[in-house]
Amino acid sequence: MNLSNKFSRLFGRFANYEFFPPFQKFINATYVKIFKIDLSEFAPASSYPSLNALFTRSLVAKRPVNANPIVLISPCDSLITQLGKSSDKNALQIKGMEYSIEELLGQKLDRELYYINFYLSPKDYHRYHAPCDLEIYEVRYFGGELLPVNLPSLRKNQSLFVRNERVVVVAKTPNNKWVYFVAVGALNVGSMVMHFEPKIKTNAGFHNTNYVYPTPISIKKGQELGMFQMGSTIVLFMEQMIADVNMNDQVKFAQDIGTYA
């Protein structure tokens, strides 16, 4: 286990620890102030018993989701750092920095894919949701490093998403087109959670595991898939996609971002 993984595991222990309430309230308030977190849709900072509970906060009220089945919604609150169509099975982590999609997903591809990178900063809502109705056929865990995924790190580290720990959700849309939903680990991410597969254990060493579902798991658009226990990145790959967003756009979970048919 390298230094970034060890540090992330230690940070995870600190974030999960429930301090004496007055001190915990101070920690939470300090975190909110430093990162300028907007809690208008969430419970007050003082109500969370640990820093991790604040990181993984739930929305108090549900956000409305577009009922049109072909409309894609943003899976998370995030910054769009890159989007486009792959070339020679390569995608961009940032302008001028390519990586192999086949390496990232752990499989050979017979076609190019459309993709969007969503960066979740420490101030963002850390839960992620289905961008459309999904039938999940497989989930893959790849052990790896936990390097930062912020813009300076993306510019510095070649094939960063491939080097980092990640969880790949393999699914299909209602019109039978493949979707790959990739949750990429990062420094200080204590763990990544997938609600539909509790056996996934992240930041547990450099090993790979996968779970195949003979009967696919059905997930509705907007349904919560899981959460990061700190900010990180989601990469969405699709066979079909017409994006209605641009690079450097700030998006919110449930916001319309395009169509897939």
Q: In DSSP terms, which residues pair with 1 in a beta bridge? A: none
User: 231 and 172, same structural domain?
Assistant: yes
Query: What tens digit of pLDDT does each residue of 100-148 get?
Result: 999 999 999 999 999 999 999 989 999 999 999 999 999 999 988 878 7
CA distance 237 to 218: 18
Instruction: Indicate whether 35 belongs to any domain.
Output: yes
Residue 65 falls inside a structural domain = no
| 160, part of any domain | yes
| In-domain check, residue 64 | no
99 and 41 both lie in a single domain: no
Contact 44, 36 (CB under 8 A): no
Claim to verify: residue 131 and residue 103 sit in the same structural domain: yes
Q: For residue 172, is it within any domain? A: yes
Q: pLDDT tens-digit profile of 53-104?
A: 999 999 999 999 999 999 999 999 999 999 999 999 999 987 788 999 999 9
What is the reported pLDDT for 204? 62
Do 128 and 44 fall into the same domain?
Answer: no
38 belongs to the catalytic site: no
- Domain span at residue 11 reads 3-55
Does 113 share its domain with 45?
Answer: no
Let me know whether 125 and 236 are in one domain. Answer: yes
Catalytic hit among 124, 129, 133, 191 = 129
Point out the least confidently predicted range of 105-119, 154-168, 170-184.
Answer: 154-168
- 133 and 26 in one domain? no
Is 129 an annotated catalytic residue? Answer: yes
CATH for 252: 2.70.70
Contact, 54 vs 38, CB < 8 A? Answer: no
User: What is the rounded distance in angstroms from the CA atom of residue 31 to the CA atom of residue 15?
Assistant: 11
Q: Does any domain span residue 60?
A: no
Distances (CA, A) of 144 to 1, 166, 228: 9, 8, 16
Average pLDDT over residues 19-40: 96
Q: Do residues 136 and 179 share a domain?
A: yes
Structural domains counted in the chain: 2
Question: 205 and 136: one domain?
Answer: yes
Count CA atoms within 13 Å of residue 78 on its CB side: 32
Asked whether 17 and 50 are in contact (CB, 8 A), the reply is: yes
Residues 93 and 51 in one domain: no
The question of whether 232 is a catalytic residue gets the answer yes
**Dihedral angle, C-alpha 238, 194, 56, 179, nearest 10 °:** 0
**Inside any domain, residue 47:** yes
pLDDT band at 188 (very low <50, low <70, confident <90, very high): low
Using the 3D structure, point to which of 55, 79, 97 is the last residue of a domain: 55
Both 12 and 111 in one domain: the answer is no
Residue 237 reports pLDDT greater than 70: yes
Res. 259 pLDDT band, cuts 50 70 90: very high
Same domain membership, residue 180 and residue 105: yes
Q: Given 4, 77, 86, 126, which residue is catalytic?
A: 77
How far is 227 from 127, CA to CA, in rounded Å?
A: 4
Q: Give residue for tokens 């099975």.
A: 89
Task: For residue 42, tell me if it sits in a domain.
Answer: yes
pLDDT of residue 146: 79
- Exactly one of 74, 78, 86, 232 is catalytic; name it: 232
pLDDT for 1? 55
The pTM for the full model equals 0.92
Place of tokens 């809690």: 39
Give the residue with greater pLDDT, 118 vs 154.
Answer: 118
